């Protein structure tokens, strides 16, 4: 019998994971700080894990936001993100080797200034200064997984996602993922008949994008994998577009007539975050994923925010 614990269950990715398994009538418990379970506190974490005894833990937790948000509270972001994963593994020791932990990592953990984010380059150089807190923590998650596997036999699977988008994301502009933020704000600009739409930064940075439903497909597959995946695998459909290109796609779909203003007082962050082609390891474990059509995915997201 599978008992699944989802950490960060009220977040964009975590809530999608919880809803999927509930619909499949699989025993799943979703927890987050807003539900009263703050895994920054070790006692809270260990008591819950001892009580629920999950066989699978899906770690979707992550305190973050846009680049300018990360700059405001870097110490808090680093500490909270690190403690959640550290306490999770420390508590999982009580379950011995009967638990699998799936870490959902962000590609901001890759080294700065590399043209293609190849899996073998994951920890070969420092992360970009704009995301040094959260990027470093995502790297540490894979190191923690390796250490607890070697000493305690806890199975770990590490998978990396690019920029998530789709229905179910936040409606708080400061917490929205980049693509959803553009959709949300442009719909509001259209509704108010505003002639100017502000884009944060130059619009030139290129990012890897993945639809929330496709990320969920990878997580579902990961729950069935019996091997350890310590060195992370890129979950990619090779969909890389600049912020400006994304804005143009959204503008066309929603028929917004205003002009763009690129506010360069906002930092761009890394110039390019483009994942490598699907690796042999990816094809071995995740090669059966059928990715959603990009324009249809944008349309689904637009309809969600229109409601």
The string of pLDDT tens digits covering residues 196-247 is 999 988 999 899 999 999 999 999 999 999 999 999 999 999 899 999 999 9
Domain of 301, CATH number, reads 3.90.25.10
Q: Label residue 65 by pLDDT band (50, 70, 90).
A: low
Instruction: Examine the pLDDT at 24 and tell me if it is beyond 70.
Output: yes
Give yes or no for residue 153 having a pLDDT over 90.
Answer: yes
104-140 pLDDT, tens digit each: 999 989 998 898 999 999 999 899 888 888 889 999 9
Q: Which domain holds residue 260?
A: 166-205+240-274+293-306
Q: Which pLDDT score is estimated for 133?
A: 85
pTM score:
0.91
Do 127 and 140 lie in a common domain?
Answer: yes
- Res. 35: pLDDT tops 80: no
The answer to whether residues 110 and 72 belong to one domain is yes
| Shared-domain flag, residues 117 and 136 | yes
Same domain, 117 and 180: no
Question: Residue 150 above 80 pLDDT?
Answer: yes
- Name the domain count of the chain: 2
Residue 176's pLDDT band (cuts 50, 70, 90): confident
**Residue whose tokens read 């994998």:** 225
Are 111 and 221 within one domain? yes
CATH code at position 69: 3.40.50.720
With pLDDT > 70 as the criterion, what percentage of the chain qualifies? 96
**Mean pLDDT throughout 241-254?**
94
Co-location of 15 and 136 in the same domain? yes
Same domain, 64 and 144: yes
Within this chain, do residues 67 and 172 fall inside the same structural domain, yes or no? Answer: no
What pLDDT was estimated at residue 69?
Answer: 61
CB atoms within 10 A of CB 208: 22
Based on the fold, state whether residues 280 and 269 are members of the same structural domain: no
- ∠ CA 117-179-124 to the nearest 5 degrees? 15
- How large a percentage of the chain has pLDDT more than 90? 66
Q: How confident is the model at residue 271 (pLDDT cuts 50, 70, 90)?
A: confident
> In sequence order, what are the beta bridge partners of 173?
none
Q: Are residues 267 and 281 in the same domain?
A: no
Tell me: do 216 and 109 sit in the same domain: yes
Does one domain contain both 128 and 182? no
Q: Has residue 49 got a pLDDT over 60?
A: yes
CB under 8 Å, gap of 24 or more: what pairs does 64-71 form? 64/134, 65/174, 65/175, 66/174, 66/178, 66/181, 66/200, 67/130, 67/131, 67/266, 67/267, 67/269, 68/200, 68/266, 68/267, 69/174, 70/130, 70/131, 70/133, 70/134, 71/130, 71/267
Q: What is the rounded CA–CA span in Å between residue 242 and residue 56?
A: 36
């Amino acid at each position: 019998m599978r008992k699944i614990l989802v950490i960060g269950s009220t977040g964009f990715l975590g809530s999608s994971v919880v809803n999927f398994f509930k619909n499949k009538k699989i025993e799943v418990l979703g927890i987050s700080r807003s539900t009263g379970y703050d895994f920054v506190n070790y006692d809270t974490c260990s008591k819950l894990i001892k009580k629920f005894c999950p066989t699978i833990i899906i770690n979707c937790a992550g305190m973050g936001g846009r680049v300018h948000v990360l700059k405001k509270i870097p110490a808090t972001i680093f500490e909270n993100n690190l403690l959640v994963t550290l306490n999770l593994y420390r508590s999982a020791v009580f379950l011995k080797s009967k638990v699998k932990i799936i870490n959902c990592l962000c590609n901001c953990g890759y080294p700065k200034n590399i043209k293609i984010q190849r899996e073998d380059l994951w920890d070969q150089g420092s992360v970009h200064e704009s995301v040094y807190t959260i990027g470093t923590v995502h790297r540490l998650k894979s190191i923690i997984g390796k250490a607890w596997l070697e000493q305690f036999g806890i199975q770990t699977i590490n998978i990396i996602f690019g920029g998530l988008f789709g229905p179910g994301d936040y409606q708080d502009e400061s917490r929205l993922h980049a693509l959803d933020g553009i959709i949300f704000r442009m719909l509001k600009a259209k509704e108010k008949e505003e002639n100017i739409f502000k884009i944060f930064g130059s619009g030139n940075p290129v990012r890897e994008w993945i639809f929330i439903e496709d990320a969920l497909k990878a997580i579902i597959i990961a729950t069935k994998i019996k091997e350890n995946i310590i060195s992370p695998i890129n979950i990619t459909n090779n969909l890389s577009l600049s912020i400006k290109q994304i804005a143009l796609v959204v503008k066309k779909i929603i028929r917004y007539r205003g002009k763009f203003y690129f506010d360069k007082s906002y930092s761009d962050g890394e110039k390019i975050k483009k994942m490598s082609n699907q690796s042999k390891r990816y094809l071995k474990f995740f090669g059966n994923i059928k990715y959603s059509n990009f324009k249809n995915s944008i349309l689904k997201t637009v309809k969600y925010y229109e409601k």
